Amino acid sequence: MDTTVVGLIGILVLVILLFMGLHVGMTMLIVGFVGYAYVVNPVGALGVLKTILYTTGSNYTLTVIPLFVLMGQFAYYSGLSKKLYDASYKWLGHLPGGLAVATIGACAFFSAICGSSTATAATFGTVSFPEMKKYRYEPGLATGAIVAGGTLGILIPPSVGFILYGVITEQSIGRLFAAGFIPGFILALSYMTAVVLQVKRRPEIGPSSQRFSWRERFVALVDVLPVLLLFVFVIGGIFGGMFTANEGAAVGAFGTFLYLCWCKQLTLNNLMKSLQDTMRTTAMIFLVIIGAYVFGYFLAVTKIPMNLAAFISGLAVNRYIVLIIIMVMYAFLGCLMDSLAMVLLTVPIFYPVITGLGFDPIWFGVLMVMVMEMGMITPPVGMNIYVIKGVVGDEVSMGTIFRGVVPHVFAITVALAIMIAFPKLSLWLPSLLY
């Protein structure tokens, strides 16, 4: 059987198994291993598996993942999320739909410490939803804002999505972090605008709240100022060359540990939960990485990535048409599969196409992460939607959450179009710093 046909069959089997609900990492690992054994031989497949397990587990660059995850866990158990929400509410609460706008603002700040989309969504689901419920916010507006705000966790640095993309493509993680700042701000602003426009049209769905004095606003910043300064020090240190991304992650984790102590939240229970949650998240990510690498080896021997790259590069159309087609494919895939798995699975296929067309790989990384965010809020596999459903329980139906997310899907589409039309918005800061 032709190897290209074998590769297409493997992709089809992978999609079917994912639809059946099998674990993403294990599915890619099994299909990739069996496919490689069929195309090459079982001994070669065992050699690939052994090599990938060792090289992934011993990859120094990937230590940045558990360190940034631990940083986010310490910040969460210190009670930072509640303080960020309070500060954001006092600065933004007077706007139409102020509580929802404040939730998005707080998510943006928490993302700068956490780096995880689902963790950000879950955190503010427990913090802000009860407040919006108390003020009689329409459930779709409330949950939609939390679901969308959570996606900022993989765009605003530190970002696990950028880290994985940088490792696969051998691009500078520091440059990718720098490239994510302005798009992250634009996307957060787009989400806030979506909320304001909804409430302007139907004021009853998001009752207005009180306006706080400037003194109250600045006082609210005092509790979160140490962590914000830590973030500036960590990211600024990475940009300024004081330390690498790994060292910066270690500094950040230690700094948030000190903040946990300063807030008098360092208990044995909080410490153990932080470590357990970090190990669980890290193990999940590493399993997905290993599975994606094994499946990538299988695709490589079938020559599908090379054939696809040659085919697309040979099309007699404008290169931006090719880029838009790839983005549409990513948006479709994001509706069907886990976002991290999507990146690890497809980057080896499309990255040669993008570089062959002369596009900047850092800019493409930003676009990829934004499409990943879209996948987090679109059915049927929009992970953040299910996270929020788990938080709110039977109080809000799944259909209501889906309806609440729709305006934010349009918002992220507009933000993505802006990033495609104006690449300098992503590339200006990396070029300035590096």
Instruction: Supply the mean pLDDT for the chain.
Output: 84
DSSP designation for 72: H
312-350 core/surface letters (b: 16 or more CB in 10 A; e: else): beeeeeebeebbeebbeebbebbeebbbbbbbbbbbbbb
Q: Is the pLDDT of residue 342 over 80?
A: no
Is a pLDDT exceeding 70 seen at residue 380? no
The fraction of the chain above a pLDDT of 70, given in percent, is 96
363 band by pLDDT with thresholds 50, 70 and 90: very high
With contact defined as beta carbons under 8 Å apart, do 173 and 227 qualify?
no
Alpha carbons 322 and 89: distance in angstroms, whole number: 42
What pLDDT, in 10s, does the model give residues 95-112? 888 889 999 998 888 877
Which of these, 101, 102, 123, lies nearest to 113 by C-alpha position? 123
Torsion sign, CA atoms 138, 142, 145, 151: negative
**Type of residue at 213:** S
- Alpha-carbon distance of 211 to 217, in angstroms, equals 10
- Where are the domains positioned within the chain? 3-433
Q: How far apart are CA 78 and CA 59, in angstroms?
A: 30
pLDDT confidence bin for 284, thresholds 50/70/90: confident
Distance CA 366, CA 156 (A): 10
DSSP 13-65: HHHHHHHTT--HHHHHHHHHHHHHHHHS-HHHHHHHHHHHHHHHHT-GGGGHH
What's the mean pLDDT in 228-256?
84
Q: How many Å separate Cα 1 from the centre of its chain? A: 39
Question: Residue 364's pLDDT is what?
Answer: 93
Question: Which stretch of 137-151, 170-184, 208-222, 305-319 has the lowest confidence by average pLDDT?
Answer: 305-319
pTM of the model: 0.82
Q: Tens digits of per-residue pLDDT, 24-49?
A: 778 888 988 999 999 888 898 999 88
Cβ atoms within 10 Å, residue 418: 14
Q: What pLDDT is attached to residue 376? A: 77
Q: What is the spatial distance between Cα 351 and Cα 309, in angstroms, rounded to a whole number?
A: 9
Residue-wise pLDDT for 315-340, tens only, equals 778 888 888 888 888 877 776 666 67
Give yes or no for a contact between 63 and 50, defined as CB atoms under 8 angstroms apart. no
- From 185-189, 277-281, 330-334, the region with the lowest mean pLDDT: 330-334
Q: Of the spans 326-340, 365-379, 416-430, which averages the highest pLDDT?
A: 416-430
